[in-house]
Amino acid sequence: MTIHREGYASILLTAIILTLLNIPSWLYLSDTYLWISILILIISLGLFLFIVSFFRIPSRKLTLNDNLIIAPADGKVVVIEETVDSEYFKDKRLQVSIFMSPANVHVNRNPISGQVIYNQYHKGKYLVAWDPKSSTENERHSVVLKRENKEILVKQIAGALAKRIVNYLKNGEQVKQGEEMGFIKFGSRVDLLLPIDTKLNIQLNEKVKGGVTVIGSL
C-alpha cells in the first residue's frame, strides 16, 4: 500500500494540528486529568489513521481488457437506469453511478483505453451524493473517452463532504485503461454514461473495486 500524492499536504496539516492539540493537553492536563489527555490522544491517533487510510492506494491486480468497461472507482452501485444526457450526447444513455463513502479508496481510474475528446469542469452545488440531482447540479468534472466508435462519459461528482475534484486528463490525450484519471477528496460519486446497448456485468447495490470490477462489455 502507498499514499496518494493528493494526500501529502492533508496528512501533514492533520499531523501538525493534532500535535499542537496534544502538547498542551499533556503539559497542562495530564497531571490532574490524565484520562482526558489519554482520550484526546486516542481520538487524535484514530483521526490521523483515518486521514492516512483515506489517501491509501492498495496494491491490486488491475483488470485490463479492451473489450470490457472497468469500474472507475471503489464504492457501491447506487444507480442503473436509462437517462437522457443533456451535457454531451444529447440522447439516451445507460447510467451507472458508484457512490464512494469516506472509507473507500478515492483514486479514480480510466474505465477504458482511448482518446479524451471532451473534458469539462462544472461549478455547482454540494448536494448529498446519493441525491439524483447531484449528477446535474453538483460541482463535477466530465470526461468523454473514445475507443474506435464507442464513447463513454465519466463524471466525477462532488458531494456534501467532497469539496475538491482533481482530474489529470487533457483534451486529445491518449489514455490507458486502469491508469489514474483523478481523485475526489472525502466521499462522493462517479457516474458512467454508457451506450444504451451496453451489456452490464453488475447489479444494483453491488460493491465494486476501481480498476478491477467489470462493469460491462463494449
Query: Considering its fold, how many domains does the chain have in total?
Result: 2
> Does the pLDDT of residue 125 top 70, yes or no?
no
State whether 11 and 113 are in the same domain: no
**Residue 46: helix, strand or coil by DSSP?**
helix
Going by C-alpha positions, the residue among 214, 178, 217, 206 that lies closest to residue 79 is: 206
- Does 63 fall in a domain? no
Give mean pLDDT, residues 1-7: 84
Residue 1: pLDDT band (50, 70, 90) is: confident
Phi, psi (rounded to 5 degrees) for 57? -125, 100
Residues tagged active-site: 188
Entry pTM:
0.85
The answer on 109 and 18 residing in a single domain is no
The domain of 22 spans 2-57
- pLDDT per residue as tens digits for the range 48-97: 998 898 888 888 999 999 999 999 999 999 999 999 999 999 999 999 99
Indicate whether 62 belongs to any domain.
no
CB atoms within 10 A of CB 204: 12
